[in-house]
Copies of this chain bind each other. A is one copy, B any other.
């Protein structure tokens, strides 16, 4: 089964998730700039979540790029990822509205950790469905960055109980880690394509002899 609709549907859901978060920026009823001040924690959490959802879209893009076909299992692993992503607007709003207090900040980290786990499961499902896709297998490899992220999310959850800003900091660090785009798969794909092109060329040369 082609991956086209999986990508289109995921793009749709992620586009909506990233956009409805802005609805939490409630429009002030006064025209003074001061009226914007109470919004700043909401805005900060919006910025962080926008970056996170952007990272997931980016990585999803890279991951799916390495395969051509998807199975029923992959469809469900993908929906599972979208489910956890869909909770990001909720925890973002809760965290923003309560000025980064312990409960919401810990809940935010928990949802991020579940998103990371879901992304990992999707990766595993894709790899198990493409056992011969060396590109994908090597590229997703040990998933070190993914594992570190999960540890940092859980650390962030724990830190939130001491001081919520420490939890927030942990999440910001993970975001920074990922803002450096995942070139592993990208590099692999390029390499593979070049190899394929060379082989094709060789075959063409042979056929021409």
- A72 touches B (CB below 8 Å): yes
Minimum CB–CB distance for A191 against chain B, Å: 14
Number of interface residues of A (CB under 8 A): 62
Chain A residues touching B, majority SS: helix
Query: Given the complex, which residues of B lie within 8 Å of A61, measured CB to CB?
Result: 1, 5, 75
- State how many copies of this chain the complex holds: 4
Query: Given the complex, which residues of B lie within 8 Å of A93, measured CB to CB?
Result: 27
A14/B9 in contact, CB under 8 A: yes
* Distance A19 CA – B16 CA, assembled complex (angstroms): 7
* Distance A2 CA – B90 CA, assembled complex (angstroms): 32
* Distance A98 CA – B33 CA, assembled complex (angstroms): 12
* Contacting residues of chain A (1-48) with chain B, CB-CB under 8 angstroms: 1-2, 5, 7-9, 11-20, 22-25, 27-33, 35-36, 47
